[in-house]
């Protein structure tokens, strides 16, 4: 190959490489346990709506915005339930409700992430509580993808919710006085790996 032909080929390869569109790849995020709290609310005797949360949550989020796909895997430590009263925490952890001695964790594993543009709007998946698995759809009310101001790393945040029936998960004691329908909402933050 002549030197000018080689130089031309090298320049062409460089120019094409620089201008070739980048192929997006799935991005994996680790849930920030210090800023991710599943909450649940229910009617109490028709008098008020009670709100409690779980304080220990782990998992991963994988998003491929270009392909409009993703996955979410979450593990909730059911013993971390926080109602605001230690005695009531113990009651909810008992056999009538969560039975945390036998079932210490609950899980959510997505089957589909629904996008509108480059933002997830719903996450379909399987929720397992007390060894009972039911399909649920988490509706995403807000979603942000930005650089975390403190960590200087890519991060995502979202608020999502769904409604389940306690009785579907063998935890329906005292219904209907204590509402069978429970709203589960999760504030989630995750940091790119």
Residue 77 lies in a domain: yes
Domain count for the chain, please give it.
1
Residue 180 lies in a domain: yes
Residues 6+ apart with CB under 8 A from 45: 177, 178
Query: What does the pLDDT average to over 107-126?
Result: 97
- Predicted confidence (pLDDT) per residue in 59-115, tens digit: 999 999 899 999 999 999 999 999 999 999 999 999 999 999 999 999 999 999 999
β-pairing verdict for 119-129 and 154-165: unpaired
The more confidently predicted of residues 15 and 175 is 175
- Predicted confidence (pLDDT) per residue in 33-65, tens digit: 999 999 999 999 999 999 999 999 999 999 998
Domain that holds residue 93: 25-192
Q: How far apart are CA 52 and CA 80, in angstroms?
A: 11
Residue 10 lies in a domain: no
For residue 19, pLDDT over 90 is answered with no
Name the strand (E) or helix (H) holding 37.
strand 37-44
In a 13 Å sphere around the CA of 35, the CA atoms on its Cβ side amount to 13
Q: How far apart are CA 142 and CA 124, in angstroms?
A: 16
Residue 187 lies in a domain: yes
pLDDT, the chain, mean: 91
What pLDDT is stored for residue 180 in this prediction?
97
Q: How far apart are CA 174 and CA 180, in angstroms?
A: 8
Residue 155 lies in a domain: yes
What pLDDT is stored for residue 185 in this prediction?
98
CATH number, domain with residue 62? 2.40.128.110
Residue 75 lies in a domain: yes
Residue 47 lies in a domain: yes
Residue 12 lies in a domain: no
């Amino acid at each position: 190959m002549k030197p000018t032909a080689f130089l031309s080929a090298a320049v062409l390869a460089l120019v094409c490489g620089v201008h070739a569109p980048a192929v997006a790849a799935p991005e994996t995020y680790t849930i920030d346990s210090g800023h991710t709290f599943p909450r649940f609310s229910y009617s109490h005797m028709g008098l008020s709506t009670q709100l409690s949360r779980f304080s220990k949550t782990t998992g991963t989020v994988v998003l491929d915005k270009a392909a409009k796909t993703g996955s979410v895997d979450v593990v909730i430590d059911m013993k971390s339930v926080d109602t605001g009263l230690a005695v009531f925490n113990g009651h909810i952890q008992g056999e009538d409700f969560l039975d945390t001695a036998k079932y210490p964790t609950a899980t959510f594993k997505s089957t589909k992430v629904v996008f509108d543009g480059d933002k997830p709007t719903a996450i379909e998946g399987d929720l397992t509580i007390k060894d009972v698995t039911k399909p649920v759809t988490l509706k995403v009310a807000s979603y942000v993808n930005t650089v975390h101001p403190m960590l200087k790393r890519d991060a995502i945040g979202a608020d999502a919710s769904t409604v389940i029936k306690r009785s579907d998960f063998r935890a329906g004691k005292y219904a209907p006085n204590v509402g069978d329908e429970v709203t589960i909402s999760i504030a989630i933050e995750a940091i790119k790996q």
